[in-house]
Amino acid sequence: MLNRLFPHPLMSVTLTLVWLGLVNTITPGNLLLGVILGIVLPLVTSVYWPNRPRLRRPLMVVEYGLIVLWDIVVANVQVAKIIAFKRNEKIHSHWINIPLDLTSPEAITVLAGTITMTPGTVSTMLASDGRAILVHCLHTDDPEGVRDDIKARYERRLKEIFQ
Amino acid sequence: MGMITEIVIAFFLVVSGVFGLVGSFGLIKLQSTLQRLHAPTKATTLGVGGVLIASMLYFLLVKGSFSFHELLITLFLFLTAPITANFIAKTFMQAHLKDSDLPPTGRDHGWSLYDMPPGSTED
């Protein structure tokens, strides 16, 4: 019964908080509306998202978020340097194929998003069986190093969080 | 407001301006479409982020009220930017690249744009 009313409890909480953040003032009326949104939206969308992702270690999400934030700042500086100071002929772009150990769709989505937001890499697509991800790297002289870096830095942590 | 507050807020605004400019410059400077894709997804993140931090500091230190909107903008930006980049990349590859231009998957199945997923019928 409780499961049917709240197919995604975390999503319900998030939606309520996002609503309160959007209106920017906490009044009982806003809270009520937020809670209603938090109950109704997961209910009507649960058809498209039948399984609840399991978070094994929720605290690691915070660590992961901080690492990614830091990497985004570093990435911005690196990419800005490449764009501003490197001549076009000296920019060596590479395709990198990263085999995935992750299987949960949510984890792969987070990994793909992380890759796009961080150091000079954009994730472009998955292998059709979903076990490898194709990444375009703006500039590197060591494609294998970039691959191992992504696997060790992000995928390992996501594996601990999701599986 | 204090001198230091002003300096800090101005610093973040200038940082965001510089990164926004470099990101836009990348769009005209870089050669291939996929390279150009890197400019808006990276340099612009800090460009927008700088404005958001400056705005948050301004409301917190000068107006004395905390605003959640900047946090939400950051959240939405991080959710949508990679998806947009992915769509652009896929559309470009669909139109201009062939299977043979890409490195092999190292698996039995090819990349999802060119190969059907296992277990589906090809029609």
B40, part of any domain: yes
**Percentage of chain B lying above the pLDDT 90 cut:** 5
> What does each of the 163 residues of chain A score in pLDDT, given as a tens digit?
566 667 777 888 888 888 888 887 888 888 899 888 888 888 888 777 777 767 777 788 888 888 888 888 887 888 888 888 878 777 888 888 888 888 888 888 888 888 888 767 888 888 777 788 888 888 877 778 888 888 888 888 888 887 7
Say if the Cβ atoms of B43 and A83 lie within 8 Å. yes
**CB-based contacts of A38, cutoff 8 Å, min separation 6:** A11, A12, A13, A14, A15, A16, A19
The closest CB to that of B89, out of A88, A124, A129, belongs to A124
Q: What local confidence, expressed as pLDDT, does residue A89 receive?
A: 78
B86, part of any domain: yes
Q: What local confidence, expressed as pLDDT, does residue B13 receive?
A: 92
**Other CB atoms within 10 A of residue B51 CB:** 18
CA-CA distances (angstroms) from residue B17 to B24, B45, B47, B70, B76? 11, 11, 6, 17, 21
| Contact residues on chain A for B23, CB-CB shorter than 8 A | 80, 83
**CB-based contacts of A155, cutoff 8 Å, min separation 6:** A98, A100, A101, A102, A111
Q: Is B106 helix (H, G, I), strand (E, B) or coil?
A: coil
Amino acid at A56: R
B76 near A CB under 8 A = no
B47, part of any domain: yes
Q: CATH 3.30.70 residue ranges in chain A? A: 59-162
Q: What local confidence, expressed as pLDDT, does residue B119 receive?
A: 67
Per the CB < 8 A criterion, the answer to whether A139 and A92 are in contact is yes
| Contact residues on chain A for B103, CB-CB shorter than 8 A | 95-97, 134
- Domain, as residue range, for B75: 3-100
What does the block give as tokens for B43? 């340099």
Q: CA of A158 to nearest chain B CA: how many angstroms apart?
A: 17
B117 near A CB under 8 A = yes
The CATH architecture one would assign to domain A59-162 is 2-Layer Sandwich (3.30)
The closest CB to that of A134, out of B69, B102, B115, belongs to B102
Say if the Cβ atoms of B105 and A97 lie within 8 Å. yes
B68-119 pLDDT, tens digit each = 788 888 888 888 888 888 888 888 888 887 777 777 777 777 777 777 767 6
Q: What local confidence, expressed as pLDDT, does residue B43 receive?
A: 63
Confidence of residue B123 (pLDDT cuts 50, 70, 90): very low
What average pLDDT does chain B have? 80
B93, part of any domain: yes
Q: What is the pTM of this model?
A: 0.81
Say if the Cβ atoms of B118 and A113 lie within 8 Å. no
Q: Is A87 helix (H, G, I), strand (E, B) or coil?
A: coil
B111, part of any domain: no
Chain A residue nearest residue B65, CA to CA: A24
Beta bridge partners of A133: A98, A126
Kindly report the length of chain A: 163
B85, part of any domain: yes
Q: What is the ipTM of this complex?
A: 0.77
- Higher pLDDT: B67 or B18? It is B18
B12-52 pLDDT, tens digit each = 999 889 888 888 888 888 877 788 887 767 666 788 888 88
